[in-house]
Amino acid sequence: MLRASIETQGEEVDLRGLTDGKAAGESSISGAAALVDFVEATLGGNTDEIAVARDLVRSELGSEALVDAAAVIGNFERMVRVADGTGIPLDAAVNVATEEIRSELGIDAFASEERKSEVATWQRLMARAIDPLAKIGLRWQGRRASR
């Protein structure tokens, strides 16, 4: 989802901030470092650190964005537990499309990764063929949205 949303802007996709919070500062996404700090502080549970992170998001992105960011944190505190609690595998298309990224970002080391399915060679080849078309489609969606 993150990769797709960055693709719509036609920008370089750098997902390192997902698994390495310090790398978020180099992201092209506005306020990325503040948002990642807000996530880490909230999940860490230290109220002083949360307050500092909250003030930073508010000053960089505004009050409404702060509330929405807190809501998104809440959403994914739920969704990760739904996925892990029910043991669902990745959907086939996502499994194929994210194979390289999961390896690059070290997500393969997570305990829940044991639930992944192996990607067949034909699936990998098909994904490589479709990828350029998907990028064109996403950039078209981005240009259309900015009109």
Partner 1 sequence: MTVADVFGTLELCAVEVAISMSLDSAFQYAAQLEDPVRADLVESHRRSWARLAESGTWWTGPERIAIAAASRAAIDCALCRERKEALSPFSVTGAHDGVSGGGSEGLVPEAAIDAAHRIVTDASRLSGTWVEGLAEQGVSDAHYVELLSVVVSVRSIDAFHRAMGLPLEPLPEPTPGGCEPTRRRPPTAEKTDAFVAMLPSRKPPGEDADLFPGPAPYVIRAMSLVPDAVRWLKDLSGAHYLSMEAGQMFDFANGRGPLSRAQTELIAGRVSAVNECFY
Length reported for the chain: 147
**Which residue, 84 or 131, has its beta carbon nearer to partner 1?**
84
Check residue 131 for interaction with partner 1 (CB under 8 A): no
Check residue 38 for interaction with partner 1 (CB under 8 A): yes
- The type of residue at 13 is V
Output the smallest distance, CB 130 to partner 1, in A.
16
DSSP letter (8 states) at residue 9? T
Residues in region 80-99 near partner 1 by CB under 8 A: 80-91, 94
Check residue 73 for interaction with partner 1 (CB under 8 A): yes
Backbone angles phi, psi at 77, to 5 degrees: -65, -30
Contacting residue, 112, 124, 128, 131, with partner 1 by CB under 8 A: 112
For 127, the token pair is 């994904």
d(Cα 116, Cα 30) in Å, to the nearest integer? 32
Output the smallest distance, CB 45 to partner 1, in A.
7
